[in-house]
Chain A
Amino acid sequence: MRYTGSLLLTLIVCVAGCTPPPEFRQNAVEVKKLELQTLGEEEQFAAGQLEDIGSFLTAAFGTPDEPDFPGLVEDDPEVNLVTQEHLVSAAGPVASLEDGEAQGLYREHCVHCHGISGDGSGPTSAFLNPYPRDFRLGKFKYKSTPLNVPPTQEDLRRILKNGIPNTAMPSFRRLPDEEIDALVDYVKYLTIRGRTERDLLSILAEDPDPALDFIASEEQFEAADEAIEAAVESGDEEPYPPLFGPNDVVDEVVFPQVDQWFEAVDSMTEVPQRPVELSPGHPDRDMWIARGKDLFFSTGACVQCHGKLALGDGQVDDYDDWTKDWMKTLGIDPAETERINEFVGLGAMPPRNLIPRNLRLGNYRGGSRPVDLYLRIKNGIEGTPMPAAAVSLTSDDIWSLVEYVRQLPNESLSQPAVQQPVNERAPR
């Protein structure tokens, strides 16, 4: 009976709930990177200033259990980029309400790869190739908008519905549309929260004077104003004014991003009709495809990365922007295991080369519609070394390239031998 007491205690603790509510993780990689860049070795940002950023983020964006969004007034998708209703059903622990409405969708479907903070380092992430996306950089690969413009609502919906073939991102087609939209909103929410954190850290890094009050609360802000006025009147030395009030941050850092997301739909790339000469069966099709092949090796410069046989074996030692963001910026050599491990310990994924796509497999991650391929070539793929098409390439050129690439998997070179089925036989 020696253990009765401790057993009882364990039972009580477990029944009462062992885990504290989850919290968003600080972007420690970005903090370390900026510290190394602006302050030098061994130096750190003032803890109070980092806390300022943390408490601003909590005040503006809430917690994983109770998310919030700056400027969320009414539940109207026309006014708000994300709606309260969507945030509530995507966030929080997994549950379903009495009327059957789902809650905690992000934690049910996404969190084990993308992580609670949307940093792409959930528990299963280490086993995946490619790694799950870290939303905080604000870069999206497969979209109908040009580089550096956020994806449209429809782009994100399509990714959720189709998944990303040849990666661990599955299709969520069986979820009702309402739940897909809720998750899309939550992705935007995590992205903007992550970008805001990064932007604030960059602003801090520009002037990392520990004496500055980085983001003051409203009361502190007013008190500081009064203090400055008093100092001016009495002729004393003026105290430092706070850099920012929370409203300034929302106006100057959050809202411009929200505007970008809203305006994305206006900058969608138009895809002109594919020339009739390229439609299957047209007598000139082969000629046009030959032109696409020429471009593949010349102006298009596709051959540099995708290789002479389009097997994705041209250039194979580059990295994606999520890795370059800290590794290349700080000039760390991938062979410097100790320095790499320091960042991996802070939450970065171990660097891995980004291998160009093998175009003979017929696997198109961003979608297999001809327009998808057109958009990939025209706009490039954000966050990767795949560049936007050279300006000198006309839409006809790009369509020739698209059709050249689309017929590669059907060339005999691309067809692997498959054992004939055992249950293939002539009719009796």
Chain B
Amino acid sequence: MNRVWSLLFLLVPILGTLLIVWAIFGAWPLAGLWLPENVNEYGGVIDHLFNLILWITGVIFIGTGAILALTMWPAKGGSRRAAYVHGNHTLEIIWAVIPAGILVFLSIYQLNAWAENKMDRPVEVVDGEERLVPPSVRVVARQFDWDFFYPGPDGKFDTVDDFMVTGEVHVPKNQPVVFQIESSDVLHSFFVPSLRVKQDIVPGMKQFVWFEANKAGRYEIACTELCGWGHYKMGAVLEVQEEEDYAVWLQETTAKCLAISQSFEE
């Protein structure tokens, strides 16, 4: 009977690993469950950290599963009675110090990733002077939609030629883009899986996120902070376009959103 239990416990690391590998390859029925392809120049560090942590936890997961199964496997030549063990200082110190060491290592190792994604906003050179890339879009989250405000022809926010598009935002390819994000009501979180960008939004605060998309396409934006009954359908589309296409889109959208006349005779 002991062998059965031992093998059953061994199934946990085996099935767990299988499931993850299956999802990574995206075979049916687990297609689309793994992270989508990264299209953000700055997203590589996030993926690297993610994979590193996955490897560390994966090895520990498989190792502990195997050890558990091994200790349950009956000894050769007869049944062994269970023994009651009370404490083992050396062991306890080992399993406290090793994870602590890993945590300390990770927290130091990731410092640059945090800085690149949350602190060092991209810089551009205008008229020979360095300055931070200004936000090109103001993202305002509300229950249960994403509104994208554009500064309009004058390039400045909070002027009369600002305009707003709900549910869809366009950005140019291969350019550093900065979004200023705010909430108009409750807590939300701005998440673009394909860009590896995620930022919680607190009402009354504004935050900046930045990215540089390197592949044209339509990507999903989701809210990842439970914000009310409609949270599940609070989404939008991020469309990355070639620079020329983006310029055309911006021009058309500006004209449409700032329409100052309408004639219905066709």
Contacts and interface: CB of A to CB of B under 8 A. Distances in A.
B164 interface: yes
Interface in B178-229: 180, 182, 204-208, 229
B128 to A, nearest CB: 14
Given A170-B144, A171-B166, A410-B158, A419 B261 contact: no
A49 B142 CA distance: 48
Interface string B100-139: 0000000000000000001111010000001110000000
A335 B260 CA distance: 45
B92 interface: no
A369 B257 contact: yes
Interface stretch (B6-14, B20-28, B78-86, B230-238): B230-238
Given A124-B229, A419-B206, A174 B259 contact: no
Interface in A272-308: 272-274, 279-280
A163 B236 CA distance: 12
Contacts of A409: 158
A191 B118 CA distance: 50
B71 interface: no
B145 A371 contact: no
A410 B159 contact: yes
Interface residues of B, number: 48
Contacts of A418: 182, 204-206
Given A168-B143, A371-B259, A427-B132, A163 B208 contact: no
A173 interface: yes
B232 to A, nearest CB: 11
A165 B147 contact: yes
A424 B229 contact: no
A6 interface: no
A371 B119 contact: no
A420 B234 CA distance: 26
Given A273-B260, A369-B259, A371-B261, A419 B204 contact: yes
A415 B164 CA distance: 18
A427 B259 contact: no
B140 to A, nearest CB: 9
B259 A370 contact: yes
A270 B160 CA distance: 23
Given A369-B257, A371-B261, A423 B207 contact: yes
A40 interface: no
B237 A274 contact: no
A165 B163 CA distance: 13
Nearest to B118: A423
A279 B260 CA distance: 9
B204 to A, nearest CB: 6
A50 B204 CA distance: 54
B145 A127 contact: no
B142 A273 contact: no
A424 B256 CA distance: 33
A173 B160 contact: no
Contact of A423 (B143, B166, B204, B208): B208
B242 interface: no
Contact of A410 (B121, B132, B160, B236): B160
Given A124-B229, A369-B257, A423-B118, A407 B160 contact: yes
Given A165-B147, A369-B257, A270 B166 contact: no
A428 interface: yes
Contacts of A165: 142, 145, 147, 164, 166
B90 interface: no
A174 B237 contact: yes
Contacts of B131: 427
Contact of A427 (B130, B164, B205, B236): B130
Contacts of A422: 205, 207
Contacts of A426: 132
Interface string A393-405: 0000000000100
Contacts of A265: 264
Instruction: Tell which of A370, A403, A422 has the most Cβ of chain B within 10 Å.
Output: A370
Contact of B160 (A161, A166, A406): A406
A368 B148 CA distance: 12
A369 B235 CA distance: 23
B154 interface: yes
A287 to B, nearest CB: 15
B161 interface: yes
A235 B6 CA distance: 101
A55 interface: no
A406 B159 CA distance: 9
A170 B145 contact: yes
A268 B264 contact: yes
B31 interface: no
A12 interface: no
A156 to B, nearest CB: 16
B166 A173 contact: yes
A368 B261 contact: no
Given A174-B235, A368-B257, 12 more contacts: A162-B167, A165-B164, A168-B144, A171-B166, A268-B264, A271-B262, A368-B163, A415-B158, A419-B204, A423-B208, A425-B121, A427-B132
Interface of A: 124, 127, 144, 161-163, 165-166, 168, 170-171, 173-174, 265, 268, 270-274, 279-280, 368-371, 403, 406-407, 409-410, 415, 418-428
The 9 closest A-B pairs by CB, nearest first: A274-B260, A173-B167, A171-B167, A273-B261, A271-B262, A268-B264, A427-B123, A171-B166, A371-B259
24 contacts: A124-B229, A127-B229, A144-B264, A165-B147, A165-B166, A166-B142, A168-B230, A171-B145, A173-B166, A174-B167, A174-B237, A273-B261, A280-B159, A280-B161, A369-B163, A369-B259, A370-B260, A371-B262, A403-B160, A409-B158, A418-B204, A421-B206, A421-B207, A423-B118
